[in-house]
């Protein structure tokens, strides 16, 4: 059983309905963390909600390179990232290990713009992850991890718990996570989905992040995009992680109990 768990809801700010579900999930104690999309229509409302006591200090940036329009200019001109209308249309192989200087600078500028958008609306992000896991692409991951280190915030690792991670993919994820941890310094130890929990794969030690996309299941329960229709995320978490404290990513910055310390003592 992990020592602590971060249950993070992605896509805060996507729309008003998603905001309402995530707010309810915070107040019910289901989730302990969320990440907001600075480029989405309901982002400003999400930043206002993030000032509530249950959410304060527990909302990070969900870096987006795949949906909607960018906030910065340079990236709009790059066919690797945007279409002719200046909308995100990521065309970057998951096997790509390197980006040219122009592309690296454009990604870094867009990340900085999305971060600044958070600050402009009164949200100081607690951590960094990405929409559709774009920072699991090696060169983007390095940019995001370096930025996280400069801001002193944790970063999400690539998912490293699951039956469907074959040998080649597991090797890649292991090397990528080593690099993310080396650059950003603050991470959880394990990342999984609700399906991995359902399959009995909760790690036996360390800090675990459960990546969630909660949905309303009646008035007092929650489903999740990863789970079957009608399947309760609440019941799953209560069963598989009973008694495990739920924390926000901000707790990883408080010594002596950081995931980095745990990893370095193994």
In the predicted structure, residue 174 carries a pLDDT above the cut 80:
yes
In the predicted structure, residue 259 carries a pLDDT above the cut 70:
no
User: pLDDT (tens digit, 9 = 90+) per residue, 184-239?
Assistant: 999 999 999 999 999 999 999 999 999 999 999 988 999 999 999 999 999 999 99
Instruction: Count Cβ atoms within 10 A of the Cβ of residue 255 and give its class: 0-12 exposed, 13-18 middle, 19 or more buried.
Output: exposed
In the predicted structure, residue 266 carries a pLDDT above the cut 50:
no
Q: How far apart are the first and last CA of the chain?
A: 17
Q: What percent of the chain has pLDDT over 70?
A: 95
CB neighbours of residue 197 within 10 Å: 22
Mean pLDDT computed over 76-94: 94
Q: What's the pLDDT at 155? A: 98
Please say whether the dihedral angle defined by the alpha carbons of residues 109, 192, 184 and 102, taken in this order, is positive or negative: negative
Architecture of domain 4-252: Alpha-Beta Barrel (3.20)
Q: What's the pLDDT at 219? A: 86
In the predicted structure, residue 178 carries a pLDDT above the cut 60:
yes
Window from 46-55, 175-184, 255-264 with minimum mean pLDDT? 255-264
Using 50, 70 and 90 to split pLDDT, how confident is the model at 93?
confident
Q: What's the pLDDT at 255? A: 56
Question: The tokens 């206002």 sit on which residue?
Answer: 48
pLDDT, greater one: 259 or 54: 54
For the chain, what is the mean pLDDT? Answer: 94
């Amino acid at each position: 059983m992990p020592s602590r768990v971060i249950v993070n809801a992605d896509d805060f700010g996507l729309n008003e309905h998603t905001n309402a579900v995530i707010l309810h999930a915070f107040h019910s104690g289901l989730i302990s963390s969320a990440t907001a999309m600075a480029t989405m229509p309901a982002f400003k409302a999400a930043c206002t909600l993030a000032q509530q006591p249950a959410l304060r200090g527990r909302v990070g940036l969900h870096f987006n390179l795949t949906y909607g329009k960018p906030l910065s200019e340079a990236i709009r001109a790059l066919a690797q990232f945007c279409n002719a209308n200046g909308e995100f249309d990521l065309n970057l192989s998951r096997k790509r290990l390197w980006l040219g200087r122009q592309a690296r600078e454009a990604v870094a500028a867009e990340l900085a713009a999305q971060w600044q958008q958070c600050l402009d609306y009164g949200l100081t992000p607690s951590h960094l992850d990405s929409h559709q896991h774009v920072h699991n692409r090696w060169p983007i991951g390095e940019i995001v991890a370096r930025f996280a280190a400069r801001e002193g915030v944790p970063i999400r690792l690539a998912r490293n718990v699951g039956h469907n991670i074959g040998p080649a993919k597991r090797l890649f994820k292991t090397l990528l996570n080593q690099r993310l941890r080396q650059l950003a310094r603050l991470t959880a130890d394990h990342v999984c989905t609700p399906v991995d929990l359902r399959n009995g794969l909760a790690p036996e030690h360390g800090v675990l992040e459960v990546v969630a996309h909660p949905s309303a299941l009646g008035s007092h329960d929650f489903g999740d995009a990863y789970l079957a229709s009608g399947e309760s995320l609440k019941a799953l978490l209560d069963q598989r992680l009973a008694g495990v404290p739920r924390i926000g990513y901000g707790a990883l910055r408080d010594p002596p109990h950081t995931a980095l310390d745990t990893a370095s003592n193994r």
